[in-house]
Amino acid sequence: MDDTNNKKGPVNIVIGAGPTGLSAAYHLDGDALLIEQNSTVGGWCRSITDNGFTFDYAGHIMFSKDDYVHQLYKILLGDNAHWQDREAWIYSKGVYTRYPFQGALYGLPPEVIKECLMGAIEARYGSSATEESAVAPMSVAIRTPLTMRSLDAEGDSNGKPDELMDCCADGTIESIVTPGYNNDCSVAISNGEPRNFEEFIYKVWGAGIAKHFALPYNKKLWAVPLTEMETSWLGGRVPLPDLQEIIDGALQPVPRPMGPNARFGYPLRGGFQALMNGFLPYVEDQLILNTRVQAVSPGKRTVTLSDGRELRYKHLVSTMPLPVLVKLMGAEAPAEIQAAAAELRHVSVRCVNLGIGRERLTDKHWIYYPEDTLFHRIFVQGNASPYCNPPGGFGLTCEITYSEYKPLPCDGDALIQRCIEDCKRVGIFNEDDPIWAANQVDMPYAYVVYDHARPQNVKVIRDWVASKDIVLSGRYSEWEYYNSDHAFIAGKNAAEEVQRLDKLEALTRATDSGAFQPVYGTTATAAM
């Protein structure tokens, strides 16, 4: 073991080469080591190939409201990107309706539409319902847009929405706050405050939409009881349903959504991985792959690697899951911190990837399944880019969340078989379609659960870690519902924080050594 490995003195270290770590290293411009346990970069934004098919670790799309992120997309992908208007659908009651559910009820059975409309009206105006969860009338309607309206000056938005768009396309936020619809009435959650996510759903949409989509879908996705979740991540307001849009969407087919809220990007070749690989020319020299950080000592300011080396760090940026970081600190983390970390809850995702031997099975990009299929979403990998398919084939990713509360019903080949059966049952492909590829990828830390204890637990850990001069960055380190565009920004912010701390330390050293004498008074500029 070479424990004097960084002989030139401590260096800045970034743990994890997912989008956050890649962005941090890129913005540190050579002034950091980037340590990654896997053999390729990208974290959950990686892709795999199997028999000519390309599959992501769960379907990933490019979507951002941030101009800087769009500049990065261009730097990282050049011409290797294409943008499409999304075709997002829901399959329930044996029919497809457009997403979001509440804006496109047309085609559902009449009694379902009636229940949804009645519920939405009651949510807006109140009812005499006695059900405990029924909605109390909200008297104060404030015109505060929660919608995604922003187009840039040229009107060329390429997928740049306003706040609160679920760019993961996992269907949770849009199904609750209806971005893209004229959702311009909301009430501050102070009046009749919903106590949890389930109550929030009832309050926003009423009993019908809750029963037929929002509750079953979100229960399936989050894999924890919705009453155990709070709602701060939904924007802190209760948007009131826009009845005219709901009624319009119930009376006639809703046209294909177009424009900024509906546009998403994807690499033309190489899957989502291509976006991550775009960082390689900038970070290659600093990148250490196949090497796990297995201990972190804030006291000694060192990380211990799986190859036995112990590296001293100047500043440490961690993008690994927060509970794992705390664990790797062992007894150096006080009991209170360990207890808070142990309480952080997350949901895992298993993807069953299927490569079917028939072209263009559907023209949809992804489909939500609120009912009894094992998966809650199929990401139509074959339509993300035609280059994800071999000639004559078509790729699908079935996404299944699981948790302690909702374990996988089976595993291995049995799980793949269940997905194939469910796909046939919902008509995505046929009994006689050949299956050219079938594999699974597992994402143990996939969704951060916003349970009621999360804000306090995260705060306690963050405060302590900050006092140890460690920068937490990204979805799993900050323990937030971030997408890869947020990850790019989080990495940039982390780099700036490291640079700020570096400057501060240099200044302190200079001041302590007497090399720097602050000059006060009106002659300061001239004296310096």
Name which of 129 and 324 has its Cβ closer to ligand FAD.
Answer: 324
Displacement of CA 475 from its chain's centroid (Å): 7
Output the smallest distance, CB 113 to ligand FAD, in A: 30
Name which of 198 and 485 has its Cβ closer to ligand FAD.
Answer: 485
Q: What is the enclosing helix (H) or strand (E) of 49?
A: strand 47-50
Name which of 25 and 187 has its Cβ closer to ligand FAD.
Answer: 25
Residue 257 contacts residue 180 (beta carbons within 8 Å): yes
Name which of 2 and 442 has its Cβ closer to ligand FAD.
Answer: 442
- For strands 310-318 and 394-402, give the pairing: unpaired
Output the smallest distance, CB 290 to ligand FAD, in A: 10
Name which of 92 and 484 has its Cβ closer to ligand FAD.
Answer: 484
Name which of 93 and 292 has its Cβ closer to ligand FAD.
Answer: 292
C-alpha 53/C-alpha 47 separation (Å) is 10
Strand positions, DSSP E, 240-345: 263-267, 287-288, 293-297, 302-305, 310-318
Output the smallest distance, CB 46 to ligand FAD, in A: 8
Name which of 170 and 230 has its Cβ closer to ligand FAD.
Answer: 170
Output the smallest distance, CB 193 to ligand FAD, in A: 29
- Closest of 233, 440, 437 to residue 351, by C-alpha: 440
Name which of 117 and 367 has its Cβ closer to ligand FAD.
Answer: 367
Output the smallest distance, CB 314 to ligand FAD, in A: 18
Residue 55 contacts residue 356 (beta carbons within 8 Å): no
C-alpha 421/C-alpha 425 separation (Å) is 6
Q: 83 pairs with which residues across the strands?
A: 265
Residue 462 phi, psi (nearest 5) = -60, -45
C-alpha 205/C-alpha 239 separation (Å) is 9
Residue 526 phi, psi (nearest 5) = -65, -40
Residue 409 contacts residue 421 (beta carbons within 8 Å): no
Output the smallest distance, CB 465 to ligand FAD, in A: 15
Name which of 279 and 447 has its Cβ closer to ligand FAD.
Answer: 447
Buried-exposed string 87-112: b where 16+ CB fall within 10 A, e elsewhere: bbbbbbeeebbbbbbbbbbbbbeeeb
* Residues near ligand FAD, by CB under 6 A: 15-21, 35-38, 43-45, 58, 60-61, 167-170, 292-293, 319-320, 349, 399, 443, 446-447, 474-476, 482-485, 487
Give the DSSP letter of residue 210: I
Output the smallest distance, CB 442 to ligand FAD, in A: 11
Query: Which two structure tokens, joined as six digits, stand for 444?
Result: 């143990």
Output the smallest distance, CB 221 to ligand FAD, in A: 9
Output the smallest distance, CB 189 to ligand FAD, in A: 26
Residue 32 contacts residue 11 (beta carbons within 8 Å): yes
C-alpha 98/C-alpha 93 separation (Å) is 13
C-alpha 393/C-alpha 433 separation (Å) is 10
